[in-house]
Structure formats: C-alpha cells, structure tokens
Amino acid sequence: MATNAAHKRLTREYQNIQRNPPPLIDAHPSESNILEWHYILTGAPQTPYEGGQYWGTLIFPSDYPFAPPSIMMHTPSGRFQTSTRLCLSISDFHPKSFNPAWSVSTILIGLMSFMNSEEMTAGSIGGTPQERKFLAARSRWWNSTGGGSASKPVPGVQARSKGLSLGNIKAGDGGTKFKAEFPEVHQENLAWIEQHRIDPATGRMLPDEEGQEIHCSPETKALRRILGGSTGVGAVVQGGQAARYAGQGWIWRQKLWIFAGCVVVYVMLARIFGEGEGIS
C-alpha cells in the first residue's frame, strides 16, 4: 500500500503527464493500485523500433520517490527480455543512484533513451536490426492478442508455464490485461490488424484471395516486406519470377548475347587466318 506521500506524488505526476505528455510516451496508473503503472512507448523514427508499440509496467515502492520502481517491458522488442526486471540506473537495481527529483516522465524518457542505445545490462538482449524491425511491425498484434494462439508456439513469443503471472501479466492471456489497461488503443489495434490482414494466430499477413483487388498503402507495403504476404496471384507469379531471375548468374541471363558474341569473334578470326593463308 502506498504511503500518503507516495500517493500524492504519483497522483500529481499523472496529472502532469495528462497536461504535458512526453513525446512518444503514454502512461497511467492502474485503477486498482496507484503503485502499478502501465506505459506504451512508440518506437522512435529512424530506429529499428520505428512505429512499434511497446507496452510495459512500472511497479513503484510504497516509499516512492525515495526509492525507484522496477521496470519491465512485456512486448517483444529484440532489446529487452519480456516481463523481466531491467537493470538500469533509474530502476530498483540501483536504489542508491536514484534521485527523488526524477519523475515518471523522467524514468520513461530514460528508458526510451536506453532502448535506443546498444548498452547491455541485466534484462537486455542483442537482437539484430532486422529482428527488431520484425518485432516492431507486429507489436500491435502481440499486445492485443497476447502473442496469438496460446496452444501453439509463435516465433518471437517466449514460452512460459501455463498460468504463470509475470509482473501482473498472465502469459497467454489473449491480450486481456492490455485490453483492460488500454481499451481505446486495443480497439485501434484490432482495426489495424483487420485493415492490414494480419493473421490473429500468427502475426503474419494473410495471402490475398484470387481476383481480389488490393490497394496497398505505403504502410501496408512496408508491412508486407517485413512480415511477408502477397498482393494477389499475379504478384505471387511475378515474385516467383523475380526470385528465379535473382538467383540466376549474370552469364546465364546474358547467354544469348554471349553466344552471338562468340559467333562474331569466330567469324572474324576465321577471316583473319584465312586471309593469312591466302597471302602465303
């Protein structure tokens, strides 16, 4: 239970965030416990996380702000282990270095800054830029579905024991906790999943039906490049031809021109040597 000082401080900080929300950050306390905060970081432009939706929790101690919160991120990012306490100078791993003047906004801005760096610490992982882009592209799907089907392993979703609670997030909950904390964002995610034909069970893009006319937005085209998917039967055929073409060597692709060149060279050499024999 929060002390009166902690309750007043966190209430004031929530009011400040509502009035002046930090860029790319959304955060609020749980209705049932002011010490439990939920946040969403939007991936910064020109980073592998661009457009990603990263959900996590801050668990504050009862004597906040004289001690720091624990920090976890639940959405797979390729940067942090999911639902695992992160060792940062602003987290409960380093209580002596925490400054009581730091606010919730300061903590989340610091988390985003660390996320965009390559510094390693407890709870960090070294995913490749391609892996991070892939996870960013389907982060909305992951948040609002709990990682797809709980009965089948899904790439990018950590396997957990059934019913295990991790930082107040039950693994394989089908997005229940996220929906409860961010109902409006959840509805936006569902509309986004339907708009871009994301398979709810796997997070991959569904193939288009034969004869279906698709008008892809730049975002949809980018998602298709990252997540996979086609734009109709014609695109599949063209894609297959392009793949075969790319796999062929330069000599094979230019075989007709090479053959013609060989014939010309042969004829020229034959004339030269023929004229030489006539002179002798």
- Catalytic residue numbers read 87
Q: What is the largest CA-CA distance in the chain?
A: 115
Q: Quick one: tokens of 93? A: 């791993």
Residue 117 buriedness (CB in 10 A; 0-12 / 13-18 / 19+): exposed
Measured between alpha carbons, how far is 98 from 73 in angstroms, rounded to an integer? 20
230 within 8 A of 236, measured Cβ to Cβ: yes
DSSP run (H or E) holding 227: helix 218-227
Measured between alpha carbons, how far is 166 from 201 in angstroms, rounded to an integer? 22
Q: Quick one: tokens of 150? A: 């709980």
Task: Work out whether strand 36-42 and strand 25-29 pair parallel, antiparallel, or are unpaired.
Answer: antiparallel
> Three-state secondary structure along 83-151?
CCCCCCCCCCCCHHHCCCCCCHHHHHHHHHHHHCCCCCCCCECCCCHHHHHHHHHCHHHHHHHCCCCCC
50 within 8 A of 34, measured Cβ to Cβ: no
